[in-house]
């Protein structure tokens, strides 16, 4: 017996604002049923002695100390800019009149 019915797929499609044909409802019902069976099978695996983890391999971040390095002055950075305003790059507005 199917865990998910054709009517449930139609309901999910309406909630998702998807227009599905009758053949698609049957097709997706079978696919969703297979997904539910597969997830149930994974849930049956004995995992009591396995600690939860977010990744299969242990990961550690590699940090380095922040060090000041020589860089461009604001004047040098803006020297080749096509347009400058208030010591910043001036670019065309893309979001309309809102500011």
Quote the number of domains for the chain. 1
The pLDDT tens digits of the residues spanning 46-97 come to 778 888 888 888 888 889 999 999 999 999 999 999 999 999 999 988 887 6
The reply to whether 12 falls in a domain is: yes
Which residues form the domain of 39? 6-43
Predicted local distance difference test score (pLDDT) of residue 99: 54
pLDDT of residue 56: 82
Report pLDDT for 81. 93
Q: CATH number, domain at 17?
A: 1.10.20
- Tell me how far apart the terminal alpha carbons of the chain are, to the nearest angstrom: 58
Q: Examine the pLDDT at 28 and tell me if it is beyond 60.
A: yes
21 inside domain: yes
Query: In angstroms, what CA-CA distances link 92 with 65, 74, 80?
Result: 38, 20, 17
């Amino acid at each position: 017996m199917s865990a998910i019915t054709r009517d449930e797929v139609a309901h999910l499609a309406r909630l998702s604002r998807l227009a599905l044909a009758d053949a698609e409802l049957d097709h997706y019902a079978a696919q969703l049923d297979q997904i539910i069976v597969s997830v149930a099978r994974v849930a049956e695996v004995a995992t009591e002695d396995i600690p939860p983890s977010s990744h299969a391999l242990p990961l550690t971040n590699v940090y380095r100390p922040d060090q000041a390095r020589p860089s461009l002055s604001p004047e040098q950075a803006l020297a080749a800019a096509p347009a400058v305003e208030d010591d910043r790059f001036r670019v065309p507005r893309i979001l309309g009149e809102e500011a």
